[in-house]
Amino acid sequence: MNKVLKILLVEDDNFLLGMYADKFRAEGFEAHIADNGAKGLRLAKEKSPDVILLDVMLPKMDGFEMLRELQKDAATKNIPVILLTNLSQKDEVKKGLMLGAKDFLIKAHFMPQEVVEKVKTVLSL
């Protein structure tokens, strides 16, 4: 039997959060959701997800700060993080990748199914 993969979705737009959670669950993932960075960080430590889909613009703690915190903790620093954001400036992309993100997706450019495929690519599925 295959291991169920866990994804943590950190997104402050509840519509998108629900849509992505439903999409990943339909693909067989166990989806955990957080609507702010502080909650996302706590869930990352509690649930040890296989991958994190992380928005950058978040309340309480932004995605870059959450990435920094994940990198500091031995328990979470190896979890692949894919940034999902509307920020498309090159310096934002570079900053996210320098902080350890595996990939950077601009929300407006990807359909949910394409995001699922990207996640599977990062997880080598």
- What are the tens digits of pLDDT across the range 50-60? 999 999 999 99
Span between the terminal Cα atoms of the chain, in Å = 15
Q: What is the mean pLDDT of the chain?
A: 91
Domain total in the chain = 1
Does position 43 have pLDDT exceeding 50, yes or no?
Answer: yes
Q: What is the pLDDT of residue 1?
A: 43
Q: What is the pLDDT of residue 14?
A: 93
Whether residue 1 lies inside any domain: the answer is: no
Whether residue 124 lies inside any domain: the answer is: no
Residue 61 sits in a domain of what CATH number?
3.40.50.2300
Whether residue 50 lies inside any domain: the answer is: yes
Give the range of the structural domain holding residue 20, as residue numbers without chain letter: 6-119
Whether residue 125 lies inside any domain: the answer is: no
Q: How far is CA 26 from the centre of its chain?
A: 17
Whether residue 106 lies inside any domain: the answer is: yes
What percent of the chain clears pLDDT 90, i.e. is strictly above it?
73
Does position 81 have pLDDT exceeding 50, yes or no?
Answer: yes
